[in-house]
Amino acid sequence: MSQVLAQKIKDKQAVIGIIGMGYVGLPLMSAFVKAGFRTMGFDIDDRKIQMLKAGQSYIKHIDAPFIAQLIREGRFDPTSDLSRMGESDVLIICVPTPLNDTRDPDLSYVSGTAESIAKTLRKDQLVILESTTYPTTTRDVVLPILTKTGLKMGEDFFLAFSPEREDPGNPKFSAAGIPKVVGGMDPVSGDLAESLYSQAIVQVIRVSSAEIAEACKILENTYRCVNIALVNELKVLFDRMGIDVWEVIDAAKTKPFGFQAFYPGPGLGGHCIPIDPFYLTWLARRYGLTTRFIELAGEVNTRMPEYVITQLMTFLNEQGKPLKGSKVAVLGAAYKKDVDDPRESPSFVLMEHLLARGAELSYNDPHVPSLPKVRHHNLPAMDSQPLTPEYLAAQDCVLISTDHSAYDYDFIVKHSRMVLDTRNATKNVKEGREKVFKA
C-alpha cells in the first residue's frame, strides 16, 4: 500500500479533488470539508466555477453563505483548470452518464475525464469513479486510459468505484449521512477508498470488487424503476375500474412486512431511474441476453406522459373543449417535489405533447424560474408565471406535474376552472373537488 497516501488520508491532510460540481459533486465536497479535508472542485462549466468563487450556490440545498465561508477560509478551491488535477491526492469523478439518441450508454464524459486525469496522473493518487454506470466500466473504460501513462494500478496509482447515493430534497439524508458502498480494483485501492470515505461518511460498506459496487447501484435504481412501473400500470387499470390507486396504496402500506409503497406519476424523472436500467439492458445484449422485465418496465413508464395527455383531452372534451387552443398551465418543472433539479423531468415530455397538440402552454415552478435547455427536448424559452388568482382563472386546465410543498393546493383549486392532478397532491382539498380530475 502507498503508506504516504494512507497516512495523508488518516491525518486528513489529503487534498480531495471532485470532478463535476453538480448535484452529486457539490454535496460530496460539503461532506469532505465538514470532515476536515481541504477540497478542490473541477468543472468545465466556467459559469459554475465563477459562481462558486463568488460565494454563490446554484443548488438549493447547498447554502451560499456556506460556500462563501469555505472560499474565504481556503478550504474549497473551485477551478475549471483541469491541468491542476495533479494537486489533488484523491480525484473523485462525478460527471454525467446519460443515454444517447439510441438509448445506449454515453460514457463520453467519463472517458473524457479519465483522459484529463491521465495528463497529470502521478504516483500516490487515488482515483474513484462515482458516476452511475454499468458493471465493468471502471475496469474496461477508465483503467486502460490511466494505464497508458505507464504507471501501474495498485502500485503507483489506485482506482476504485463508489456509487453516488444522493437524494435531493430529502432533508433526512445528506451526502454524509447515506451509507457508502466501496469496491476497489484491487485490495489496496479498496483499502484506501474505504479509509477515505470512513472519514466523512456515516457508514462504509466494503464489497469485493468494483463490479459489485457498480452492479449494486444499477440494482437499486432498477428496483425502483420496476416497482414504479407496476403501480403506473395498476393506476391505468384502476382508473378504468373507477378505483383510486392512491387509496389502494395507502391501505396496502399498513402491512408491516412484505410491502414497500411506490407511487404512480406522469412519468419518471431525475438522472438515475429513467436511465440506469437501460444501461443494464444494453449490457445484457452484449452478453447475448435480453432483460424483458426491465425493458417492459421502461415501456410502461415511458408511456405515462401520453396517458396523462389522453386523460386531459378526455376531461376537456367532457366540458366541450378541444385541447387545441386551450390554455394549459403545468405546475412543476423539476423532476420531483421540493428540488430545483429538472433533469429528465416528465414535465418536459408533457409540455412537448401539449405544444404538439396546439395547447397554449405556460408553467410555474417556485424552484425553476426559467426552463433550462436540456438534452432530447426542444422547448421554447419560458419563465415561471406567478400563481395569481387571475392567472389560474385564465387557464382552461391547471396540470399538476410536480407536487411541491410550496404550493397552496386549496388556493390553486379555488381559483382554477379545472385541475388535472397526476400526483394526488390535492387529496386534502375539500372545497371545489368537482373541478379536480386525477390522471
Give, for all 439 residues of the chain, the pLDDT tens digit. 578 999 999 999 999 999 999 989 999 999 999 999 999 999 999 999 999 999 999 988 889 999 999 999 999 999 999 999 999 999 999 999 887 777 778 899 999 999 999 999 999 999 999 999 999 999 999 999 999 999 999 999 999 999 998 877 677 778 889 999 999 999 999 999 999 999 999 999 999 999 999 999 999 989 999 999 999 999 999 999 999 999 999 999 999 999 999 999 998 776 666 677 788 888 888 899 989 988 899 889 999 999 999 999 999 999 999 999 999 999 999 999 999 888 889 999 999 999 999 999 999 999 999 998 877 778 999 999 999 999 999 999 999 999 999 999 999 999 999 999 999 999 999 999 999 999 8
* Dihedral sign (CA 429, 344, 275, 45): negative
Question: Do 88 and 26 reside in the same domain of the chain?
Answer: yes
DSSP 213-247: HHHHHHHHHHHHHHHHHHHHHHHHHHHHHT--HHH
Say how many domains are in the chain.
Answer: 2
> Is residue 254 located within the same domain as residue 172?
no
Examine the domain organization and report whether 292 and 176 are in the same domain: no
Buried/exposed 419-436: b ≥16 CB within 10 Å, e otherwise: bbbbbbbbeebeeeeebb
Tell me whether residue 304 is in a domain. Answer: yes
User: In degrees, to the nearest 5, what angle opens at C-alpha 266 toward C-alphas 261 and 268?
Assistant: 70
* Helix, strand, coil share of the chain (percent; to 5): 45, 15, 45
CATH number at residue 195: 3.40.50.720
E strand spans, 131-224: 157-161, 180-184, 204-207
Domain with 297 in it: 228-438
Determine, yes or no, domain membership for 221.
Answer: no
Q: Rounded to an integer, what distance in angstroms lies between the CA atom of residue 277 and that of residue 297?
A: 9
Is residue 402 included in any domain, yes or no?
yes
The pLDDT assigned to 271 comes to: 61
Picking from 211, 236, 265, the residue at the C-terminal end of a domain is 211
Query: Are 204 and 232 contained in the same domain?
Result: no
Residues 250-268 as b/e (b if ≥16 CB within 10 A, e otherwise) read eeeeeeeeeeeebbbbbbb
93 domain residue, yes or no: yes
Whether residues 132 and 239 share a domain: the answer is no
**What pLDDT is recorded for position 104?**
79
> Does residue 39 lie within any of the structural domains?
yes
Query: pLDDT value at position 272?
Result: 62
Same-domain pairing of 199 and 268: no
Query: Is position 91 within any domain?
Result: yes
How high is the pLDDT of residue 175? 85
- Predicted local distance difference test score (pLDDT) of residue 171: 72
The predicted structure's pLDDT at residue 395? 98
Q: Which three cell numbers stand for residue 109?
A: 464524459
Q: Which residue type occupies 312? A: L
Q: Which long-range contacts (CB under 8 A, 24 or more apart) does 222-227 make?
A: 222/276, 222/277, 222/280, 222/294, 222/297, 224/262, 224/273, 225/268, 225/273, 225/274, 225/276, 225/277, 225/294, 225/297, 225/298, 225/301, 226/277, 226/293, 226/294, 226/297, 227/260, 227/262
**Backbone φ, ψ for residue 55 (5° rounding):** 75, 25
Beta carbons within 10 angstroms of residue 149's beta carbon: 15
The verdict on 327 and 384 lying in the same domain is yes
> What gap in Å lies between CA 330 and CA 309, rounded to an integer?
12
- Hey, is 348 helix, strand or coil? helix
Whether residue 179 sits in one domain with residue 263: no
d(CA 350, CA 354): 6
Query: Does the active-site annotation cover 397?
Result: no
* 260 and 396 both lie in a single domain: yes
Q: How far apart, in whole angstroms, are the C-alpha atoms of residue 290 and residue 79?
A: 43
Helix (H/G/I), strand (E/B), else coil: 160: strand
The pLDDT assigned to 386 comes to 97
Distance CA 310, CA 433 (A): 21
**Based on the domain organization, do 81 and 189 belong to the same domain?**
yes
Q: Give the span between the Cα atoms of 33 and 16, in whole angstroms.
A: 9
Given 211, 243, 260, which residue is the final one in a domain?
211
Report how far apart, in Å, the C-alpha atoms of 262 and of each of 168, 268, 366 are.
18, 12, 25
> Is 219 inside a domain boundary?
no
Q: Which pLDDT value is given to residue 273?
A: 62
101 plus 19 within the same structural domain:
yes
**CA diameter of the chain:** 76
- Judge if 185 and 246 occupy the same domain: no
The one-letter code for the residue type at 302 is T
Listed residues 183, 211, 239: the one ending a domain:
211
- Could you say which of 94, 216, 225, 272 is catalytic? 272
Dihedral sign computed on CA atoms, order 372, 376, 381, 386: negative
* Letter string b/e over residues 31-62, b meaning 16 or more CB atoms within 10 A of that residue's CB: bbbebebbbbbbbbeeebbebbbeeebbbebb
Residue 284 lies in a domain: yes
